[in-house]
Amino acid sequence: MMSSSDPFQIRDTYVRVGTMADTYARIAENAFALFLDDAADPSPLFCPPYDPTGAMDREDRKAANGIKTIVFSAMAIEAAVFDLAAIQLGDRVATLYLDKMDLLSKWMIVPRLICGRSLNENGPAFNSLKGLVKARNALVHHKSREWDREGKAERAMTDRWAIFEKDQVPN
């Protein structure tokens, strides 16, 4: 443990217990692979019109794997930045001062405290992180809508999910 009077040094060795970043990342990677498999699966084209359950099951699996990809990717990145801060800055600093910050702020502040530089706010890493946070928030804070006779709400939902699958899940 480092005292406040010790000079700061970047640690190159550490042992931590209970880290979850790798576990969350593996779940996200596996879900993404399954999402891609379902997206590329041509079998619904060959389902008889009187038995659409195969296509519906595939769409349900694809949606679930897309959601898992996004949510667990965000969890992995959040766990990783906490571990990085705890390793390099200490558990006390990570828990008391950094833990309640939003994910984007953590990834701007923690590298600056450790390395003297932040992520480039206009760079691909930060922009991808912003997209991930937006997608995660859309899922975690999802709001249902009231049904309408014209089907506008249902069409809007279908359109939103199609855009979401196309733009957010693969990124």
pLDDT score for 6: 67
Q: What was the pLDDT predicted at 54?
A: 67
In a domain, residue 148? The reply is yes
Task: Assess if residue 80 is contained within a domain.
Answer: yes
Alpha helices (runs of H) in 19-52, residue ranges in sequence order: 21-40
Q: What is the pLDDT of residues 97-115, one digit of tens each?
A: 999 999 999 999 999 999 9
> Is 11 part of any domain?
no
Q: Does 112 map to a domain?
A: yes
What's the pLDDT score for residue 168?
60
In a domain, 108, yes or no: yes
Structural domain contains residue 14 = no
> Considering just the CA atoms, what is the radius of gyration of the chain in Å?
21
Domain assignment present for 6: no
In the chain the first and final C-alpha atoms are separated, in Å, by: 39
Whether residue 7 is contained in a domain is answered as no
Domain region containing 87: 21-45+57-167
Domain count across the chain: 1
Span of 5-14, 71-80, 153-162 with lowest mean pLDDT:
5-14
Confidence at 43, pLDDT banded by 50, 70, 90: low
Residues sharing a CB contact under 8 Å with residue 113, sequence separation 6 or more, in sequence order: 85, 88, 89
